Structure 1
Amino acid sequence: MLHLEYLNIFYALKTTKDSPQDVGREKEEKEKNKSAEEFVVVRKDKEKRRTRSEKEFEELDFHKTESHVPVMLGEVVDVFSSLHLRSFIDCTLGAAGHSSAIIKGHPELECYIGMDVDPVAHAKSRANIDALLHSTPSNLKPHLLFKNFKYIKSVIGEIDDYNLLSCGVDGILMDLGMSSMQVNNPHRGFGVLANGPLDMRMDPRASVKAKDILNYWPEDEVGRILREYGEESNWRWLQKKVVQARQQGGLHSTGELRDLIQGTTRGAREGRQGWIKTATRVFQALRIAVNDELNTLEKSLHACFESLAPGGRLAVISFHSLEDRIVKQAFLKIIESNEGNGDGVEEETGKRDLRKVRNESDAKEAWIRQMVRGQNGTILTKRPITPSEEEEGLNRRSRSAKLRVIEKVR
């Protein structure tokens, strides 16, 4: 390659001995080699920028594990470790990795509810929890329900537990990320590189699939989804290509969508982030739209907080900026929502408390560093907790995770 030839010239000149006869010539050659060195550095840097996203994505997609690895497991355990958990709800059951750790660490637990709309997750989690309860003496009777967490209030009402109904839930967890079981299954349609149907439904009972959006929804709505849910700057061009594909039979597989994105991006954005990051944003946008994820999350956060017992905690793990923004804003809205007694005194006090952020260096729980106090509750994570470097190295899918925690007033 050309840049290797420049490198050889550069290092050969570097090792040549000086001689009085060649001082002038060497000075001239050094000026030439300086520009050659700069050229090599630029070329190498461009190569790194051009290949990094594709290489990292291949590692994410092909270095797969059969079992799902729970993200920030130690941090989640810490969030609830100081509480006397009589009741606990896992809103996104998955393979029950977080739930198993909570059940094992809280022998006082009497009422456990696990919720998920994925039948594969239910089968896996039931097996894991049953195995745990058989190996550990416990009177716990788990309730594993095939329900979306937006129905948390009705689920609590259906459980025959007086204390749960009268006092509330001591701990609630929401892990908003997809499990490896979902991503690694090409038939679900979540993976960018694997070829499969354009499905993307978390709940197989739902009617809308990704192919329905791409092939039948109004053109403007497709563009809005790509723009708002994918935060894709190239959304207009992609929207146009999707509509053109309809005239040729439409898009019916992840491979067809991937090829469309790859061809479109190479023509429009070559040399920038590459087609893979664009594809990731497009797939994210479609998944959010298919499952109505953001609207469901916003409504469910308030329902979950209202279901807490005094002193109970709600922990939420998000994986992209749209989710994290909703969680952050919902928590702030929740803790300042009381209107006071009518004379404005309590309301103004609440506003002052909301702005009062203090360091908790002497707190019993070391993971709590800053809190935001309000009338209805306390945000225990002014800034979200993120995975450790060790976890990011072991589980690359954890890199974007953010954990936020809110506690109801006692």
Structure 2
Amino acid sequence: AASSPSSSSAIVVASSSSKSKSKAALAFVKRRTRSEREFDEEYMKKYGDEDSHIPVMLGEVMDVFDSSSSSFRLRSFVDCTLGAAGHSCAIIQAHPELQTYIGLDVDPVAHEEAQSRINNMLNSTPACSSTNLKAHMLLKNFKEIKQAIGQVDEKLLLSGVDGILMDLGMSSMQVDDPRRGFSMLNNGPLDMRMDPKGSLKAEDILNSWPPTEVGKILQEYGEESNWYSLQNKIVKARLGGGFHTTGDLVDLIRGSTSRVKGGRQGWIKTAARVFQALRIAVNDELKTLENSLYNCFDCLSPGGRLAVISFHSLEDRIVKQTFLNIINNIPRKDDTIIEEGGFGAEPKEFNYYPGEKEVWIKQVVKGSSGVILTKRPITATPKEEKLNSRCRSAKLRVIQKM
């Protein structure tokens, strides 16, 4: 049948829209720095567990802390987010020169599993048992890194540690446990606390926070365009008994999402943004992150490296900007003293790392107190993304202290 003028116009619009999306996607890819490392699936599986957690960008993290390719030496290391200890186990086995290891996690379930796994490895692996390594696993939030290092060795707090890792992603053991309230696909209590001792739950926010505050976290932490409508529907739902399970919240979101805008996929994306917003608010993640980045950098030794893996744009923007502030001696927001000549200083760019060239380092940004070794964040290889869909949004940024 012949096309009517209106249908022809629709085809042109659709074609134009498709081209615009293609250009946007291409621009996004160009802004990323794909890892050029050959993905080793067997190596990843050695330190991961498909049933609980797969360490993201394990090979790339190992390159960052590789002692063989530069003057960098890893004698002390802090894993700020232990999880299932995949990254930590690989680091410990690869570095016989490591003398002090500290692992932190505020989640008691993750802490217990990681502690058991690391102790078993240290006791059963000849290469590990023959070293002078002292391993310490502490039930602490990474914002307490200074207290943790001081608790282990006050001298180490003064001299600084050689390597620090922050993997900000949630582990599968947290997401897949309905009792924790993180999953939108498994019904459970509206909790979402990383630290079970915390007083604030997602249920409290939904049922008792002022409407404007609910809308604010949906808009800012979830980057949800339909935040105002959801805010009003959440407040209205309080009159009918409120929210007590993740299923209650999912039902509201599903009923609020137009089928015209993507059907099932549409409500799932909306739910993912809402759950992210609530989780960030419950755990005060963004403010904690910014302060913790400063604390971690303070704890580095000269030449020490901090590697951070983030999983959504809000985190990545904070890591990027905080790294720039750090190398230019711009203090954190709650500091009152600004070092002379630090505020507003422009970083110098280099196309190489000043020293022995490391393959993974492409472009760096140098400041007066440090060097950002990843001008653009490193992202996972296509092979790793295919195996582990949760790493698709992962971005790795690294800073080194002068």
Q: TM-score, normalised by structure 1?
A: 0.80
User: Which residue is 2:116 aligned to?
Assistant: 127
Equivalent residue in structure 2 for 1:158, among 151, 157, 169: 151
Question: Identity of paired residues, percent?
Answer: 62
Which amino acid in the other structure matches residue 394 of structure 2? A
- For residues 273-326 of structure 1, give each alpha carbon's deviation from its aligned partner in whole angstroms, at most 9, with x where no partner exists: 611100000000000000000000001100100110000000000000000000
The CA deviation at 1:166 is 2.7
User: Which residue is 2:364 aligned to?
Assistant: 371
The CA deviation at 1:139 is 2.5
2:339 & 2:312 partners in 1: Cα distance? Answer: 39
User: Which residue is 1:112 aligned to?
Assistant: 101
The CA deviation at 1:190 is 0.6
User: Which residue is 1:99 aligned to?
Assistant: 88
- For residues 27-85 of structure 1, give each alpha carbon's deviation from its aligned partner in whole angstroms, at most 9, with x where no partner exists: xx7x67xx99x99xx8xx99xx9xxxxxxxxxxxxxx9422101000000000003311
Return 5+ residue gaps in structure 2 as ranges: 22-48, 331-336
1:148 aligns with 2:133: no
The CA deviation at 1:154 is 1.4
The CA deviation at 1:269 is 4.3
The CA deviation at 1:347 is 8.2
User: Which residue is 2:172 aligned to?
Assistant: 180
Equivalent residue in structure 1 for 2:184, among 192, 196, 199: 192
User: Which residue is 1:69 aligned to?
Assistant: 54
On the 8 A contact 1:361/1:369 being kept in 2, the answer is no
Higher share in helix: 1
1:327 aligns with 2:312: no
1:367 & 1:295 partners in 2: Cα distance? Answer: 30
Specify the SS of the correspondent of 1:322. helix
User: Which residue is 1:85 aligned to?
Assistant: 74
Do the aligned partners of residues 245 and 139 (structure 1) sit closer, same or farther apart at CA in structure 2, a change above 3 Å counting? Answer: same
2:273 & 2:338 partners in 1: Cα distance? Answer: 43
Matches for 1:260-275 after TM superposition, within 5 Å: 260-266=252-258, 269=261, 274-275=266-267
Do the aligned partners of residues 234 and 142 (structure 1) sit closer, same or farther apart at CA in structure 2, a change above 3 Å counting? Answer: same
1:362 & 1:149 partners in 2: Cα distance? Answer: 31
1:365 & 1:311 partners in 2: Cα distance? Answer: 15
The CA deviation at 1:362 is 9.3
Equivalent residue in structure 2 for 1:297, among 256, 265, 289: 289
User: Which residue is 1:212 aligned to?
Assistant: 204
User: Which residue is 2:395 aligned to?
Assistant: 402
User: Which residue is 1:384 aligned to?
Assistant: 377
- Bigger radius of gyration among the two: 1
Equivalent residue in structure 1 for 2:268, among 257, 261, 276: 276
The CA deviation at 1:355 is 3.4
The CA deviation at 1:140 is 1.7
Which amino acid in the other structure matches residue 230 of structure 1? G
2:339 & 2:279 partners in 1: Cα distance? Answer: 44
1:315 aligns with 2:327: no
Deviates more, 1:106-115 or 1:272-281: 272-281
Specify the SS of the correspondent of 1:193. coil
Return 5+ residue gaps in structure 1 as ranges: 1-28, 50-63
